[in-house]
Structure 1
Amino acid sequence: MSPNLWRFTKKKELKPFRVPFEDIHASHEPFADKIFSYCQNVSNQNMVILCVGTDRSTGDSLGPLIGSKLEAMSLHHFSVYGTLKYPVHAMNLTERLEDIKKKYMNPYIIAIDACLGQQMNVGSLTLQEGPLYPGAAVQKKLPEVGDIHITGIVNVGGAMEFYVLQNTRLHVVMSMAESIAQSIYLADQKLSEHSTSLLHVDAFKPFMIEKDV
Structure 2
Amino acid sequence: MFTIKNTIHYNIPDAHIEISNHLKKYINENTIIVCIGTDKFIGDCLGPLVGTYLKDQKCSLPIYGTIESPIHALNIHKELDKIKALHPNSNNNILGVDASLGHGESIGTICIRNEPIYPGRGVGKVLPKVGKASIVGIIDDSEDTTFFSNRSIRLHFVMEMAKVIASSIIYSIDFDSK
The TM tier, using the shorter chain, reads over 0.9
Q: CA RMSD in A?
A: 1.5
1:72 counterpart residue number: 56
Mapped contact 1:58–1:167 kept (Cα < 8 A): no
Q: CA deviation at 1:163?
A: 2.6
**Number of matched residues?**
175
1:33 counterpart residue number: 21
Is the aligned partner of 1:146 residue 2:131? yes
- TM-score, normalised via structure 1 length: 0.78
Mapped contact 2:35–2:50 kept (Cα < 8 A): yes
Alignment of 1:1-213 (within 5 A): 7-8=1-2, 14-23=3-12, 25-40=13-28, 46-76=30-60, 78-107=61-90, 108-158=93-143, 159-164=145-150, 166-193=151-178
Q: Structure 1: how far apart are the matches of 2:103 and 2:63?
A: 29
Give the number of the structure whose alpha-carbon radius of gyration is greater: 1
1:3 counterpart residue number: none
Q: Structure 1: how far apart are the matches of 2:172 and 2:118?
A: 24
- TM-score, normalised via structure 2 length: 0.92
The structure whose residues are more often helix, as a share, is 1
Q: CA deviation at 1:157?
A: 1.1
Q: Structure 1: how far apart are the matches of 2:4 and 2:132?
A: 15
Q: CA deviation at 1:15?
A: 3.0
Following TM superposition, the consecutive aligned residue runs of length 4 or more in structure 1 with deviations greater than 4 angstroms are none
Mapped contact 1:67–1:80 kept (Cα < 8 A): yes
Please tell me the residue identity of whatever aligns with 2:14: A
Q: Structure 1: how far apart are the matches of 2:4 and 2:176?
A: 25
